[in-house]
Chains A and B, each alone.
Chain A
Amino acid sequence: MNSKITLYAVLLFSVTLFSQTSFINSGDAWKYLDDGSDQGTTWDDNGFNDASWASGASELGYGDGGEATIVSYGPSSSNKYPTTYFRKSFNVADHTLYNDLVLEAIRDDGMVVYVNGVEVWKDNMPASFDYSTYASATVSGGGETAWLSTTIGSNLVTGTNMVAVEIHQRSGSSSDISFDFKLTAYAAIPTAITRGPYLQKGNANSMTVKWRTNTSTESIINYGTTLGVLSSTVSENTLKTQHELLIPGLTADTKYYYEIADADGVYVTESSDMYVKASPNVGDQQFVRAWILGDAGTANQDQRDVRDEYYNYVATAGVSPNQTDMILFLGDNAYNDGTDSEYQAAVFDVYGDMLKKSVAWSTLGNHDGHSATSSTQTGPYYDIFSFPTAAECGGTSSGTEAYYSYDYANIHFIVLESHQLYNDATQMAWCLSDIQATTQDWIVAIFHHPPYTKGSHNSDSETQLVAMRNNFLSILEDNGVDLVLSGHSHSYERSYFINGHYGVSSTFISGTHTVGANGDLSGKADTGDGAYTKTDTDTEGAVYITAGSSGKISGGSLNHNAMYASINELGSCVLELENDGGTGQNLTVKFLNDSGAISDYFTINKTGFVLAVDDEVINKKSVSIYPVPASMQLNIKLNTNETIENVMIYNIIGALVLESKETSIDVSQLSTGKYMVGIRTSKNQHYKSIIIQ
């Protein structure tokens, strides 16, 4: 007895000291079922009776020649069993010693793992599956012997535990399957960040921070406006690996440093280079810089070169260095299929330094759409990004992440979905409502498939491109859009300053479709051509950019008639908005190539931002009303040859709230808001707008 107690104490001490126990090792014996039967959904339970199953040591499988145990695939080599089942039990003396499990497996082709009846790991299998489901892809070459690994929160129990694994073939004629497995339990895996952090849905008062960890843990962000004094905290206690926290209560246009922690402490420390910057108040006129990346997701050196040149540019910028207010992804962010691992390689591993301090926005590209679908808002693209659906960042509520809008300073951004929803009436109706609701000085539209291009795609003939041109351009242009950004073609193409061209390239007519005296010129403010201009009376004109060369170039004829510049170079675009030295603003977009040169640029100068209405006195025609805003009395002054017959005041929804025949009216009982005053005189009927405070 004493020896048993001693042994237990030694084991307990060992576990505590070394913090891990290997419960399943390579080469261990497994129960297996290889008779081609469908075991339904209860075979993975702890209590399932597998007494009749065969037993053998791992590695189990057939076809590769290196198996310790060969399992059967059935009578036909061209119609092999789709699923083979494996079970292994093991004993845990005290489950409370363990918080995390590291599972490792060799699997060929697809695998689903259950621990104590709970599905904990699925690899190379579709979201929904059954006995007859084949694996998603063929595992071959090095993949057949590579150990995969995942970490999960422990769901071990004291006593008998069960690991159940089903291995799925790739097809009835596939040559092999393989299975080997290890399970190690830990007291605690040190938490480490594996993705992010990255910023989403920024507005003047809040920011969403997302990140991924290697183990399930709490979500805690400490933040503050001063490094070393992160005195505010947001947290969520649910253990998870995919974290998303909203930081509320921010002050507009203010930088907050942050660190990431769990119950054990900080594991992403604060730094001067990691912060959340709340958006400016909506409508504020100030310097804004946006980094624009189109079709970037190659995860190769070209993409990194483009990135590095932007980093150099912004670090040495003469105005507001190191300020990047947002990253605009124009779609095809991760080749070839926008999977989670491709996003890791092409987005998070490449732009990590910027993503932790600049908000990322995106539109869906066709390659993102290989693994994601807007009709169900599922897939890695929709899992990775969090976009506003209820106008959380300004704009009009769309109810979907597929298309949305947001405001930043005095710019309104409209993001449309052109891959699957190019003919979608609901998207069109929302776009019209949204652009007609904005009061912002600048309007920028973003969607992946360009309305004008002759790069690696042809906007004259390709379905989505033609549809976007026909369905959306008049909505945008009639309501004052300034800039339209697209990707898809792997080159840089930038239009003249244009309006009203909805046909093919050959129908573009300079002079008819260009706007203003210099719309058919370069738009370069520092040359004789001058900036493109928009005023409060000349409101038409937009520049269209197709910028899909942030990761690769693919050429094309590059001769669209609407284009001022068509350049087959790697690069990204930089949008900068700043005061023009007077009362207006300049919106400048530069194409920065992979050598650091600015291959093209243009400026739109806009003036005439002032309000139309004089607040104090409306002196129009023969009637004036004052003061505006009013609070106690409202006075009406008429021309001497008119007399008041009746005054009716209506609220914002047209309900009559006050009626008088006086020229000085007590309005103190009216609540704050906008009203319409109808004044019937001996000669006229007048209507005026007033504000009651």
Chain B
Amino acid sequence: MTLKFRKKIIVLTGFLLISSILYAHGDLSIRIKEKSIEISKRPTDAHLYYERGFLYQQHLEYQNAISDFDKSKSLGNHSKLLFFRMAETYYKNDEYEYAFDKITSCVAIDAGDVKSLKLKAQILFKLKRYQETMLAYTYVVENTVDIRPEDIIEYSNIVLAIDSLDYKGALKAIEIGLDKLGANTVTFQLKKIEYLKKSNQVDEVVSQYNMLIKNNHRNEFWYYEKGKYLIDVKRFSQANIAIQQAKLAIELLTSKFKNTLAIKKLQTQLNELEKLLNYE
């Protein structure tokens, strides 16, 4: 092997090694490096520090992110977005007091911004300032266009965090979601069942399962859940009906579904429920 060729091999190997490290970090590391180069050329550009800070945040380097955000601020960036990102970074790093300080500055600039208010609500929740959390989040829920199911669920969780027995309030939050996003949004249906169960509203739980059974072509899993619940609340004859209906629903499936692992697991679970019923 010639020296020149050996050098080429070394260079190539080094390149591949560096490339693999870079690829292991994904494109964020590359973008951080590129941004650092830009900063070196324009070291007093506040926005470059902000942009790199945001990249650091996405890369989970929270201390570096805060450092860059502080630098951006010192260079004259006092924008709402900067305060928001600082709050967000502190929040992600579990530094909730600092997060609150920054989100307060953010909201002071735009009191009606739902994104900022949502973060504020989340921070207040962590600080256990629950009444203020509710105020902020209620505004968010009522004023956000394109609200997500996750937002509604979070809202209902906050209701329960304030009062762990306020299932009425939590269910009301879910109803807001059903109203905004559609009565068949399955995420809300499941959460509604959970809250109804926890508040011992047995008939309502059964009604909810019945609704899911009626609204789905495939309902073997819902029959199973209904049967399991009816056993828990000692309505054994009704439970048996639900279990039998689950088994019949499986019988009516095409073989393709009948032989999936999920259905096989379900059949085992149904048999176990039947044994439990026989014991009762």
Task: Give, as a whole number of angstroms, the nearest-CB distance from B154 to chain A.
Answer: 10
Verify if B27 is at the interface (C-beta below 8 Å from A): yes
A-B residue pair count with CB separations less than 8 angstroms: 207
Contact check, B248 vs A689: say whether CB atoms are below 8 A apart: yes
B241 cross-chain contacts in A, Cβ below 8 A: 650, 654, 676, 678
Partner of A130, one of B20, B77, B110, B244: B110
B19 to chain A, nearest CB (A): 8
**Cβ-defined contact, A400 with B149, below 8 A:** yes
Taking CB atoms, residues of chain B closer than 8 Å to A400 are 148-150, 181
User: B interface, by DSSP: helix, strand, loop or mixed?
Assistant: helix
Is A684 interfacial (CB-CB < 8 Å)? no
The chain A residue with its CB closest to the CB of B23 is A456
Question: Interface digits, B58-87 against A, CB 8 Å rule (1 contact, 0 not)?
Answer: 000000000000000001111111000000
* Chain A positions 364-407 with a Cβ under 8 Å from a chain B Cβ: 366, 374-378, 382, 389-391, 396-402
The reply to whether the CB of A279 lies closer than 8 angstroms to some CB of chain B is no
Is B261 positioned at the interface, with any CB of A under 8 Å from its CB? yes
B109 contacts chain A at the CB level, 8 A cutoff: yes
Whether B115 is near chain A, meaning CB under 8 Å from some CB there, is yes
Are B45's CB and A458's CB within 8 A? no
Give the Cβ gap from B12 to chain A, nearest Cβ, in Å: 13
**Size band of the B side of the interface?**
35 or more
Q: Tell me whether B213 is interfacial, beta carbon within 8 Å.
A: yes
Q: Given the known A-B contacts A134-B47, A366-B27, are A654 and B218 also in contact in the complex, defined by CB atoms under 8 Å?
A: no
Chain B residue nearest to A136 in the complex (CB): B47
Nearest residue in A to B77 (C-beta to C-beta)?
Answer: A134
Count of A interface residues, CB-CB < 8 Å: 79
Let me know if B177 is at the binding interface, CB within 8 A: yes
Q: Is the CB of B186 within 8 A of A434?
A: yes
Q: Which residues of B contact A534 (CB under 8 A)?
A: 256
- Max chain B C-beta neighbours (<10 A), residue from A398, A401, A402, A557: A398
Q: Which label, helix, strand, loop or mixed, suits the secondary structure of the A interface?
A: loop
Answer whether residue A126 sits at the interface, using C-beta atoms and an 8 A cutoff: yes
- Contact call B252/A653, Cβ cutoff below 8 A: no
Once A132-B78, A426-B150, A556-B23 are accepted as A-B contacts, the answer to whether A652 and B214 lie under 8 Å apart by CB is: yes
> A661 to B10, alpha carbons, bound, how many Å?
90
| Interchain CB contact under 8 A, B186 and A430 | yes
Chain A residue contacts of B197, Cβ below 8 A: none
* Chain B residues with CB below 8 A from A402, complex form: 148
Judged by a CB distance under 8 angstroms, whether A144 is at the interface is no
Q: Which of A462, A479, A540 contacts B26 (CB 8 A)?
A: A462
Cα separation A129 to B76 with both chains bound (whole Å): 15
**Contact sample, A vs B, 23 pairs, CB 8 Å cutoff:** A129-B79, A133-B79, A134-B46, A134-B47, A171-B75, A172-B76, A173-B45, A173-B76, A376-B148, A377-B146, A391-B184, A399-B181, A436-B218, A478-B260, A480-B260, A536-B259, A540-B261, A556-B23, A612-B252, A613-B251, A676-B248, A687-B247, A689-B249
Query: What 12 additional pairs, Cβ within 8 angstroms, besides A134-B47, A376-B115, A390-B185?
Result: A134-B77, A170-B45, A170-B47, A173-B76, A390-B184, A398-B186, A398-B187, A399-B181, A429-B186, A429-B190, A441-B256, A653-B213
Residues on A facing B (Cβ under 8 Å): 78-79, 82, 126, 128-130, 132-134, 137-138, 170-174, 366, 374-378, 382, 389-391, 396-402, 424, 426, 429-430, 433-434, 436-439, 441, 456-458, 461-462, 477-480, 534-540, 556-557, 606, 608-613, 650, 652-654, 676, 678, 687-689
